Amino acid sequence: MSELKIMLEGLDCAHCASKIEAQVNKLENINEASLNFINKSLTIEHSGDDNIIFEAVEKIVHKLEPHVKVFTNKEEEHNHIHDEDHSHSHSDCNCGGNHGHGKHDSHDNKISSHDNASSDGHGHSHDLNGDTKKTLIRLFVAAILFIPAVIFESSKTLSMILSIASYIIIGYDIILRAVKNILNGQVFDENFLMAVASIGAIIIGEYPEAAGVMLFYQTGEYFQSIAVNKSRKQIKSLLNIKPEFANLKTDSGITKVKPEAIKINDIIVVKPGEKVPLDGVIIEGSSTIDTSALTGESMPVDKVIGNDVLSGSINLTGVLTVKVTKIFKESTVSKILYLVEKASNKKSETENFITKFAKYYTPAVVALAAIIAIVPPLIFNDPFYDWLYRGLIFLVVSCPCALVLSIPLTYFSGLGAASKYGILIKGGNYLEALSKSEIAVFDKTGTLTEGKFEVAEIKAFGGISESDLLRIAAHGEYYSNHPIATSIKEKFANQINEEFIKDYEEIAGFGIKAKVDGKIVLLGNEKLMNQENISFEKATDKPGTVLYVSIDGKFAGFIVISDKIKKDVNNLVAKLKSAGIKKVIMLTGDNRVTANFVKEKLGLDEVYSELLPTDKVDKVEELFKSKHEKGKLLFVGDGINDAPVLMRADVGFAMGGIGSDAAIESADVVIMNDEPTKVYESIEIAKKTKSIVWQNIIFSLGVKLLVMILTVYGNVTMPLAVFADVGVAIVAILNASRILRIKVK
């Protein structure tokens, strides 16, 4: 299975985008096709040939949207989020307006780099800002003609001439596209609805109404496109972390090159104010680094020689010389952009429902409009004119663009808002699932605790001093890479003599046996002491891991190793409960005493200890049975050891996992730093996003339903019907963009 990403430059019709996605999914060898209207990108998982798939997609796009430029960009694939910086009219799409582009059928132009111009099909560059100016001129001229047409409506001939002139100037392209779409089998779109409604108004002699419908509609579409592009820019600004260049240090000096050209072990220079282009380690200089774009952490951090730096962060003060440790495609910034890009392809249940709803909603309303126009005059002998006018208004109201456009925009804005807090959610489906969170399950080590072990207590027996006990234990643990061994060795980092260590043996599940300075030393758990028949004093109720030590068959003492609880988790349970979480549970492989200590310290509801990775999966399966059918269970782990549980949970969180491939593969949400409170923030963002989604659904359908009811009673004019369409869409779009400005406390 391979993946193909296709860009659709000039696609500004959300309803048309859903049609393109539906038809591409019907193609042979397509596993899944997802069209991201916000990024104007189509991502296809398929088992066929890239070129054949591309050509089939291009035919579909040009059939539905002839002016859209279709291309793929291999060089930029997975490395950045594509978006246009131009505010051009929504009228470039089949929902109405002016485009003037022909079919783009040159194969040489299919695979090309993206620029800021669209093609007219003949290889000529077409300025998108020029389209905007043309649209404004048309709107202005049409309005100049329309206003006197209304003022002098009593003069039938003058009003008719001015109205038709205004109508042709502002609406000719809608009529043409409606005809083309009908010939292509695409009937129920806004072009058709506006064309039929306006032509119907002309037929019954309502010339100013016909011109007004087109003028108000095109004006609304223009402002709608401005609102959409503003939202796109806001989202893009949150993710503007890709470095444009790198200062490569060579024998001949410093050369400015693309980050993609840098290799591992190359030396780069990062000046104050510049973005760090690639991951690396500082070999010269010191500085303060702003990592807020990556982690959401507002406080800059100081970096010195030997410290790692991440691509996408900003160098604030000193000049840094950095040795590159990862190529650009494997760097932190590249992984982040890849995650966010993939996230926008996974749609929520609500988005999928709205797409299906729109498919049946518009034809149903068109049929109802026809019934309104024809049936009442036949039954009640009312004037045919009145009911035909009401039926035409129904056509104007029926377009579902407000929903089809604002719902995906809301979810994408929610994903963007989360990224601002250093939370990468892999899709709108997970964002929606988070809003239904009911049970939160946490791993302990590295999640609720720092994962950095340190010696908390030493108790020696048999006349040996505590320092000697620790020194012998450090030698005995010298060859072990276990975190507990590391914490002990750190106490004697420069004092361990490897020549003292002989016959090292690691006993799985028990501990270590070695000869240290001629003495047989055992270091391990209770089971090791019992197995070797050593009489020892148990260390009871110690919140940590207890390492028992014997020397030449005699118990010498124990060392307690503990893991610090993270500073920001003290109020975590209370915050999660305020966000709607009913149970906060911890699963750990640590001992019962340590687990209960953490439980009491944090106020957890339940804790399960001494679990193997497979036991954690089994426990999660049990917890699934205790939640409500629609409730969601989330699991928070370190993204490496907890991969099986992360995949089983409804929503899996990887803490500080951006450097871990396992986290990217297994988790649904990646938290850039290691703060558990980000889980609470993600739930709050999800709930606010869902709230705005339902606000838009209720508002859009409510206004349309109200206008439809009033239309039946003859209390609505066509201009009001136009507002119920494009006006509602603009309000919904502006409401959707609010999520980008939310603050989670």
Residue 237's CB is within 10 A of a number of other CB atoms, namely 11
Q: What phi and psi values does residue 487 have, to the nearest 5 degrees?
A: -65, -35
For this structure, is 615 an active site residue?
Answer: no
Burial class (CB in 10 A: 0-12, 13-18, 19+), 160: middle
CA atoms within 13 A on the CB side of 706: 11
Closest CA to 138 of 81, 219, 198: 219
129 CB neighbour count, 10 Å cutoff: 12
Tokens of 520: 């047989």
* Bridge partners, residue 408, by sequence: none
118 Cβ contact partners less than 8 Å away, ≥ 6 residues apart: 9, 10, 67, 69, 101, 126, 128
Of the candidates 494, 521, 527, the residue with the CA atom closest to the CA atom of residue 508: 527
For residue 314, give the H/E element and its range. Answer: strand 314-315
Extended beta strands in 577-694, E state: 583-587, 606-608, 632-637, 651-655, 669-671
Q: Which two tokens stand for residue 169?
A: 């100037």
CA distances to 358, 484, 656 from 597, in Å:
54, 19, 24
The values of phi and psi at residue 709, to 5°, are: -65, -45
Give the residue among 111, 112, 132, 136 at the shortest CA–CA distance from 50: 111
Of the listed 279, 443, 642, 725, which one is catalytic?
A: 443
Residue 442, amino acid: F
CA gap 645, 635 in Å, rounded: 7
Name the packing angle between helices 401-420 and 677-712 (round to 10°): 170
The 3-state DSSP class for residue 298 equals coil
**Hey, which residues does 526 pair with through a beta bridge?**
none
Q: Do 419 and 358 touch, CB atoms closer than 8 A?
A: no
Q: Which residues are catalytic?
A: 443
